[in-house]
Amino acid sequence: MDVSQYLDIFLDESKEHLQNLNTSVLNLEQDPENPDTISEIFRAAHTLKGMAGTMGYKRMQNLTHDMENVFSEVRDGKLKVNAGMIDVLFRCLDAIEEYVSVISETSDEGDNDNEPIIKELNDILAGKAASGEETKAAAEPAPAEAEAAAPAAAAPAVAWDLTEEEQKALEDAMMANKKLYSVTVTVQESCLLKAARAFLVFKAIEERGEIVAANPSTQDIEDEKFDLEFSLIIASEGELDPILKDIKAVSEIADARGGVFEGESAPEAEAASAPAEEKKEAPEPAKDPGTSVAKVKNEVVKKPEPEASGAKTEKKAGSKPAVNRTVRVDIEKLDSLMNLVSELIIAKNSLVSSATSDTTESSSNLHEQIEYLESVTTNLHESVMKVRMVPIESVVSKFPRMIRDISKQLNKPMELYMSGEETELDRTVVDEIGDPLMHMLRNSADHGLEMPEERIARGKPETGSIFLDAYQDGNNVVIEVRDDGNGIDVERVRQKAIERGVMTEEQAYAAEDSDIINLLFMPSFSTAKQVSDLSGRGVGLDVVKSKIEALSGEVDVKTKLGEGTTFTIRLPLTLAIIQALMVVVGGEKYAIALSGIQTIENISPKDVKTVESKEVINLRGTVIPILRLDEILGCKSQRDPDSDMIVVIAKKGDKLAGLVVDHLIGQQEIVIKSMGKYINKCKFISGATILGDGEVALIIDSNALI
Amino acid sequence: MANELSTNINEITQYIVIRIGEEQYGIDIKYIDNIVRMQQITRVPQVPAHFKGVINLRGEVIPVMSIRVKMGLAPDVESKDTRIIIIKMDQHEPIGMMVDMVKEVVNLSSAEIERVGFDRGDNQNAYASGIGKHETGLITLLDLDAVLAGL
């Protein structure tokens, strides 16, 4: 059965179920006895298994099957949930997530069997890993064993990932009463044509036996995709020694070692029985970047550190996904769209009839029809926009799990409180906002919150709190990441700025605190005293800022030393179509987003005062700086300088500024077009739009001007 | 017979010949998406002088550059022959290039192209990849990669 057409649905639903499972397991950790949670988990695991099976993803099916078994026992009350089990379950979910992400990139599940996790699940089933301590010991070899896949220095302890064909060939050979040898061949470092040497090795072996499996695969070896070593499983009727001798006889082969192959499970049994030893040995080949086998392996193996998820997203960005992105649409939204389209057709028909009728009343009628058409298209736009909107829940729901992991890793008790998960944003924005939010949360967890002792000493509750609040504010969506930690030490940032030569001493002391805090968004400006696993490598807030700005949003920080920090992200509801005020400056047309405009005022030139060499106006008691757009845009105002000025009052948060323009054209719905990367150097031009007559008008980003 | 053989060996490339000032330049036809008449260009503030602005090309906003300014020649003078050549290369975004005139399409075999070493410091030659010898005269072949890389 060809199931490729269901791939999209499969991926979508798998992600949903995984998210579900993550949340449920998290709940289970808090409330291990809750029967509802347990059956919820069981159902999700069961569905996931069924879906993987239907799609033919055997490895994923195996893993979910074992997971389901565990839950089935838990549900029947035969097993008790404990901390060790929760850890294994989370690792299991990570492994499934890895499968899903590999599938979405390549539409194949990859070749990682995740044997160690399956083994742990089975151990749980067998009741072996009852205490958390033991599970931990058993868990250690999981990453270690997989990384040890690089031919370990000592012996042919190679972890074989056998494909089905290889497995079959192996069984056939055993049936034929042949002996199986596992051989590791090392090529001399100076060897130039490794693939050719490998080929000669193959030739030599084939005189005496048969190659049933290779690591890396024979194809990779022929393509020279190995470093200095490759391993083979050979089926032969003869002894091993003559084979090894023949291999060594090939020139530029440094060494060939081997032994009797004892079946696939051998290395694992070893790993489980001597976890301590394995632990000691394994990290070495893993660290050594020279062995390409290890590298290839690492890609499929989920790394235990949380950065892995960062690395994963990078990988995702680089490769082309195998499926298109989809949005699930509520049927009600589609119905309203359909209604609007019918109205559009009616409006068109009335227009046609008034255009063809010759009566004198038709002109007033035409006007009416155009107004009707206008209202229909505006509604249509709103509805289409709504179709593109998805709740941010899909991104933020993975954060509780992340905070839990960080909390464990850093030994800092903390709690994440979220609100407004139902807030909707454009799908494209929701997809992009995950990484920056994750960064900020990590930042809060790692740098923001103090260690528990410090918190107690300061009279704060031992458990730190991080808040993630989302809400809609006019045409914007605001997301706040807040913590009750230490806050930003502005003085330290100031010192750092001087140290780094970003500012002179004078500048630094003259600068406002908010300007100093904004330095944190500069590339490679980390104030962490120590580089930790989580953050403090100088990549972070600058990435957050550039990412958010790419979505035409902005970030703002408020902090109070000792009390906490609040990061506020402000994002536009939609990116494609906006309501804009069209203005003329120096004979050129420009659009200003209506969402950023407060009022429009007529100001007499006499009322312009100068404060600190900046022009300001006093508008009903508020002093507002004014910006002459003709000067900023580099054109010449064509307005009589003595006549009243037209000032567009723009607002950004609580800041105001008056933009002086020549004329107003009016309000218009505009479609934002990108100008491409050649010409986007200009900070306050956020894009361009095409007007009704085909002319291009630039869009002024009033936020960038303030 | 001999003639046929030589054409087989020599790869033929089609070039669009344009005029910039008094000189003829050739652009490999495979990189040309479109040639449009002069139209209203919307100026963009605070960009380098060689960017003339942006135009509306069938609903897309495309930046337009002046190859004359880029080469350090006198600024463009619009005439009825002025054209905007829309260039699309795989690794670059589409861009328009203002030229004084589009003359013709010529076939040049690799034997007719001389890849001479240029003094890259010289502005006008910095963007040449070779010289084509054609019956209508010498044609400087534009190295579009070099032109676009410097933007």
pLDDT, tens digit, 9 for 90 and up, residues B60-100 = 889 999 988 888 888 888 888 999 999 998 878 899 999 99
Write down the pLDDT at residue B125: 62
List the single residue in A with minimal CA-CA distance to B48: A679
**For an interface test with A, which of B47, B70, B84, B92 has the most A Cβ atoms less than 10 Å from its Cβ?**
B47
Distance CA A117, CA A63 (A): 8
Q: Are A96 and A60 in contact (CB under 8 A)?
A: yes
Q: Is A443 a catalytic residue?
A: yes
Task: Kindly report which listed range (A288-292, A326-330, A403-407) carries the lowest average pLDDT score.
Answer: A288-292
CB contact under 8 Å between B60 and A673, yes or no, is yes
The pLDDT of A487-499, averaged and rounded, is: 82
pLDDT at A57 over 70: yes
Write down the pLDDT at residue A310: 37
pLDDT at B145 over 80: yes
pTM of the model: 0.47
Interstrand relation of A622-628 and A655-661 (parallel, antiparallel or unpaired): parallel
**A673 CB within 8 Å of a chain B CB:** yes
The pLDDT of A673-697, averaged and rounded, is: 82
Distance from CA of A690 to the nearest CA of B (A): 7
Write down the pLDDT at residue A190: 67
| Per-residue model confidence as pLDDT tens digits over A150-163 | 343 334 445 566 66
φ, ψ for residue A318, nearest 5 deg: -75, -40
| Per-residue model confidence as pLDDT tens digits over A185-231 | 877 766 666 766 777 777 777 777 777 777 777 777 766 667 777 78
Of these ranges, A387-396, A485-494, A695-704, the one predicted with the greatest mean pLDDT is A695-704
Q: Is A68 a catalytic residue?
A: yes
Write down the pLDDT at residue A262: 66
Of these ranges, A73-82, A256-265, B21-30, the one predicted with the greatest mean pLDDT is B21-30
Q: Are A465 and A484 in contact (CB under 8 A)?
A: yes
Question: Domain spans of chain A?
Answer: 4-146, 161-263, 331-391, 393-572, 577-705
Return the half-sphere exposure (C-beta side, CA atoms, 13 A cut-off) of residue A599: 7
Here the ipTM equals 0.84
**In the CATH scheme, what is the code of domain A161-263?**
3.30.70.1110
Q: Are A88 and A96 in contact (CB under 8 A)?
A: no
pLDDT at A590 over 90: yes
CB contact under 8 Å between A676 and B93, yes or no, is yes
pLDDT at A529 over 60: no
pLDDT at A472 over 50: yes
The pLDDT of A414-420, averaged and rounded, is: 90
Task: Kindly report which listed range (A81-95, A207-221, A532-546) carries the lowest average pLDDT score.
Answer: A532-546
Task: Select the more confidently predicted residue: A181 or A416.
Answer: A416
Assign domain A4-146 to a CATH class: mainly alpha
Write down the pLDDT at residue A243: 77
**For an interface test with A, which of B33, B39, B44 has the most A Cβ atoms less than 10 Å from its Cβ?**
B44
pLDDT at A495 over 80: yes
**Ordered structural domains, chain B, with CATH:** 2-149 (2.40.50.180)
The pLDDT of A314-327, averaged and rounded, is: 49
Longest dimension (CA), chain A: 107
CB contact under 8 Å between B93 and A673, yes or no, is no
Kindly state the helix (H) or strand (E) to which residue A686 belongs, with its residue range.
strand A685-690
| Per-residue model confidence as pLDDT tens digits over A556-586 | 888 888 888 899 998 877 656 778 999 999 9
The pLDDT of A327-356, averaged and rounded, is: 82
Write down the pLDDT at residue A360: 61
Task: Count A/B contacts: CB-CB distance under 8 Å.
Answer: 64
The active-site residue, picked from A20, A22, A215, A443, is A443
**Residue B23 banded pLDDT, cuts 50, 70, 90:** confident
Write down the pLDDT at residue B54: 93
The pLDDT of B143-147, averaged and rounded, is: 86
**Residue A625 banded pLDDT, cuts 50, 70, 90:** very high
Write down the pLDDT at residue A148: 39
**Residue A287 banded pLDDT, cuts 50, 70, 90:** very low
| Per-residue model confidence as pLDDT tens digits over A628-639 | 999 988 888 888
**Residue A526 banded pLDDT, cuts 50, 70, 90:** low
Write down the pLDDT at residue A112: 75
Distance from CA of A379 to the nearest CA of B (A): 23
Distances (CA, A) of A293 to A147, A189, A307: 9, 16, 21
What mean pLDDT value characterizes chain A? 75
Q: Which of B145, B125, B111 is nearest to B28 (CA)?
A: B145
Distance CA A38, CA A551 (A): 40
Distance CA A94, CA A74 (A): 21
Return the half-sphere exposure (C-beta side, CA atoms, 13 A cut-off) of residue A370: 7
* CATH architecture for segment(s) A393-572: 2-Layer Sandwich (3.30)
Assign domain A577-705 to a CATH class: mainly beta
Task: Select the more confidently predicted residue: B119 or A327.
Answer: A327
